[in-house]
A and B are shown apart, each in its own frame.
Chain A
Amino acid sequence: MIGIRLENIVKSFRSELILEGLNLTIEEGKFFALLGPSGCGKTTLLRLIAGFEMVDSGKIFLGDQDITQLPIHERPIKTVFQSYALFPHMNVFDNVAYGLRIKKLAPALVEQKVTRMLKAVHLDAHQYKSISQLSGGQQQRVALARAIVNEPDVLLLDEPLAALDPSLREKMLVELVDLQEKYKTTFIYVTHDQAEALAVADEMAIMNLDGVIEQIGSPKQVYEFPASSFVAQFVGTTNIFKGVIRQERYLQVQGLGELEVVLPADKRWAREGSHVCMSLRPEKIEITKQQTAGFSNMLTGVVEAIVYQGRYTQYKVRLKNDTSILVFEQNEEHFPQQEIDYFDEVLLYWQKENATLLER
């Protein structure tokens, strides 16, 4: 249970720079999610920590120990691979026992640890099956067990649920969180799926396509207070308005007039006349056909598309300036007081506190 510290990591493949001086500290015992679009370098970062790749420059610390030059097999870090990478010529038990046997643990101890581990991942009934006899979810659990049974300081998970179907994925997410709480190991979970990251992480980092980390924070911080429009758009769904700050309380948007905003006090870029963005989450907007009091902002528009999603309905509304925004409305009632249909004129209300001003 020791944290990881990355200092100034530089890595390139065939003259293509993937990571350019990356710094990151991951505290011990955290469930840390590394979220980014495909090809942003998050898997490279994971492979550097595991030791499959070596850094061009920079240092990797595990606790206080510099592990930058340590070969893979000497690092107290274990990996759960996206493809599971289970050994096909061994049964479930032998797969899980592999690391312990390599360490030359006494056979009785190996037996005891593996049995306990298999019970923890609900595979005790399958221990003598061969890998090919297992379902995807079971193989996933073997991969987890094989790594965790070695009691690593850090567990790396490389999109471990990508190969599972959605319902199984949700179940495995819960199991992952349970396992992390049980073993208190530092988990580093790499994914491009923001919903997964939000669901499991204590803390998450969002990486952009240039391999730069744009924000680190709890899922709630990242979702509610994104640090950039990239983060706002990548984590969840949002509407971005571009405009100019006026009179320290308005955002002047082309064709929409002035929207009331809250300026972040500590941000020097948020000044009179500066060009900024505003992120407004679709679920923070109230959609209605009647005048309503008590909101600081109101826009009018025409319903362009309606997608019924069961627990909520998604509206696409065309505004006066010919841009569209998304609105999510909870389906709270069987018989709503007002039906909103295609081409209806609607009013959109939100509170200024629920929008976030962004530098870019």
Chain B
Amino acid sequence: MAFHALVTRYGSFALAVPALIWQVCFLYLPVIFVLSDSFLSGSGSLWQRLSVEHYAVIVDSLHARVMVRSLVQALVVACSCLLIGYPVTYLCALKARRLKSIFLFLLMLPFWTNILVHIYAWFFVLERNGLINSILMRLGIIHEPIAFLYTNAAVTLVMIYSYLPFMVLPLLSALEKFNTTLIEASLDLGATPTSTFFNITLPLTMPAVRTGFFLVFVPVFGEYAIPTLVGGGKSLNVGSMISAYYLEARNPALGSAFTVVSSMVILVVVWLLYYLLSGPKRAKEHA
């Protein structure tokens, strides 16, 4: 086959090769290693080593509780980001024409700084002699410093702060190109501003809401740095559990099994949430 024909036939595929190599080396291969670690034990031939004994260890109430705790954590953070992010983004995109860039800069700031930097910045705010405690003491509201650090509340707070940009960015791109004449049309037809929001604006920006929700939900489920540093490693979640198996217990087999199970769980949950967030309207349309 002539070179030219090869290029026209496989040319577009060739463009994907660098990305594919990257994906294969740093995603698919590691996933295969994790999978094989989780299903192999003892010695002998491959067939003899095949077993589900690691999974038998993993499937118990302790691990289930860790997973549920992480799911709840992810749900709380994702919902909070949505409830904080949507109104702010709405104002930015549709109302505050001139202050928009300043708003956005402040919102995006955590996105541009290293995660460790802003986690430690929160230490100065939350610690015993930190900003909040000194202000409260100075004002005479409290007499003993409150232990904010190493609590679940602190972990949630820092997570919301760190993940807010992931919610705001897709919402912003959707709301910025939102046709505001549709809002005017709805008001014109007699709908109140509130009912206009729920009938028109929200349904039409639902794809962005979904994207933002999953961009927060999925990584928070496996988040490792924030619970470990801000939470002080006091309560186990999926991220710290996996790292404990690999790095502390030196048991990659159990770590892998747990990783596989938690990945399955998040896949199923995301799939369920996807349909939940599509809303009943869309389902009717397809029927």
Instruction: Give chain A's interface residues, CB within 8 Å of chain B.
Output: 50-52, 71-74, 77-79, 81, 83, 85-89, 98-99, 102-103, 146-147, 150
- Do B186 and A98 have beta carbons less than 8 Å apart? yes
The reply on B251 being an interface residue by CB < 8 A is no
- Do A85 and B179 have beta carbons less than 8 Å apart? yes
**Smallest Cβ-Cβ distance to B282: which chain A residue:** A89
**Smallest Cβ-Cβ distance to A78: which chain B residue:** B188
Interface centre among B184, B200, B204 (most CB of A within 10 A): B184
Interchain nearest-CB distance for A114 vs B (Å): 13
- Known pairs A79-B185, A98-B189. 14 more at Cβ < 8 A? A50-B184, A73-B188, A73-B191, A74-B190, A79-B184, A79-B188, A81-B185, A87-B186, A89-B281, A98-B186, A99-B190, A102-B190, A147-B189, A150-B189
Provide the B182-224 mask, 1 if CB < 8 A to any CB of A, else 0.
1011111111110100011001100000000000000000000
User: Could you list 28 examples of A-B contacts with CB < 8 Å?
Assistant: A51-B187, A51-B188, A52-B184, A52-B187, A71-B187, A72-B188, A73-B190, A73-B192, A73-B193, A78-B188, A78-B189, A79-B188, A81-B184, A81-B185, A83-B179, A85-B181, A85-B184, A86-B185, A87-B185, A88-B204, A89-B203, A89-B281, A98-B186, A99-B189, A102-B189, A103-B190, A146-B189, A150-B190
Q: For residue B184, which residues in chain A have a CB less than 8 angstroms away from its CB?
A: 50, 52, 72, 79, 81, 85
Q: For residue A77, which residues in chain B have a CB less than 8 angstroms away from its CB?
A: 188
Interchain nearest-CB distance for B137 vs A (Å): 48
Also in contact, A72 and B281, with CB within 8 A (given A81-B181, A85-B181, A85-B182) = no
With A and B bound together, what is the CA distance between A52 and B184 in angstroms? 7
10 A-B pairs with the lowest CB-CB distances in the bound complex, closest first: A99-B189, A85-B185, A72-B187, A85-B181, A102-B190, A102-B191, A79-B188, A73-B187, A73-B190, A99-B190
Q: For residue A83, which residues in chain B have a CB less than 8 angstroms away from its CB?
A: 179, 181
**Smallest Cβ-Cβ distance to A89: which chain B residue:** B203
Interchain nearest-CB distance for B259 vs A (Å): 39
Q: For residue B203, which residues in chain A have a CB less than 8 angstroms away from its CB?
A: 89
Count contacts on B: residues with CB < 8 A to the other chain: 19
**Smallest Cβ-Cβ distance to A76: which chain B residue:** B190
Interchain nearest-CB distance for B16 vs A (Å): 31
Tell me the dominant secondary structure on chain B's binding face: helix
**Smallest Cβ-Cβ distance to A103: which chain B residue:** B190
Q: For residue B181, which residues in chain A have a CB less than 8 angstroms away from its CB?
A: 81, 83, 85
Q: For residue A71, which residues in chain B have a CB less than 8 angstroms away from its CB?
A: 187
Also in contact, A89 and B204, with CB within 8 A (given A81-B181, A83-B181) = yes
- Do B195 and A102 have beta carbons less than 8 Å apart? yes
With A and B bound together, what is the CA distance between A356 and B184 in angstroms? 44
**Smallest Cβ-Cβ distance to B200: which chain A residue:** A87
Provide the B161-174 mask, 1 if CB < 8 A to any CB of A, else 0.
00000000000000
**Smallest Cβ-Cβ distance to B281: which chain A residue:** A89
With A and B bound together, what is the CA distance between A81 and B200 in angstroms? 16
Q: For residue A147, which residues in chain B have a CB less than 8 angstroms away from its CB?
A: 188-189
Provide the B62-96 mask, 1 if CB < 8 A to any CB of A, else 0.
00000000000000000000000000000000000
With A and B bound together, what is the CA distance between A189 and B250 in angstroms? 78
Q: For residue B281, which residues in chain A have a CB less than 8 angstroms away from its CB?
A: 89
Also in contact, A50 and B188, with CB within 8 A (given A81-B181, A83-B181, A85-B181) = yes
With A and B bound together, what is the CA distance between A83 and B183 in angstroms? 13
Interchain nearest-CB distance for A53 vs B (Å): 10
Q: For residue B192, which residues in chain A have a CB less than 8 angstroms away from its CB?
A: 73
Interchain nearest-CB distance for B113 vs A (Å): 37
Interchain nearest-CB distance for B33 vs A (Å): 45
Interchain nearest-CB distance for B79 vs A (Å): 23
Interchain nearest-CB distance for B229 vs A (Å): 43
With A and B bound together, what is the CA distance between A206 and B122 in angstroms? 64
Q: For residue A88, which residues in chain B have a CB less than 8 angstroms away from its CB?
A: 204
Q: For residue B189, which residues in chain A have a CB less than 8 angstroms away from its CB?
A: 73, 78, 98-99, 102, 146-147, 150
Q: For residue A72, which residues in chain B have a CB less than 8 angstroms away from its CB?
A: 184, 187-188
Q: For residue B186, which residues in chain A have a CB less than 8 angstroms away from its CB?
A: 87, 98
Q: For residue B185, which residues in chain A have a CB less than 8 angstroms away from its CB?
A: 79, 81, 85-87
With A and B bound together, what is the CA distance between A171 and B116 in angstroms? 67
With A and B bound together, what is the CA distance between A71 and B184 in angstroms? 12
Q: For residue A99, which residues in chain B have a CB less than 8 angstroms away from its CB?
A: 189-190
Interchain nearest-CB distance for B32 vs A (Å): 42
**Smallest Cβ-Cβ distance to B188: which chain A residue:** A79
With A and B bound together, what is the CA distance between A150 and B186 in angstroms? 13
Interchain nearest-CB distance for B155 vs A (Å): 38
Interface centre among B182, B184, B185, B281 (most CB of A within 10 A): B185
With A and B bound together, what is the CA distance between A146 and B190 in angstroms? 12
With A and B bound together, what is the CA distance between A76 and B21 in angstroms? 63
Interface centre among B181, B182, B188 (most CB of A within 10 A): B188
Q: For residue A150, which residues in chain B have a CB less than 8 angstroms away from its CB?
A: 189-190
**Smallest Cβ-Cβ distance to A77: which chain B residue:** B188
With A and B bound together, what is the CA distance between A87 and B188 in angstroms? 13
With A and B bound together, what is the CA distance between A197 and B143 in angstroms? 77
Interchain nearest-CB distance for A91 vs B (Å): 8
Q: For residue B193, which residues in chain A have a CB less than 8 angstroms away from its CB?
A: 73
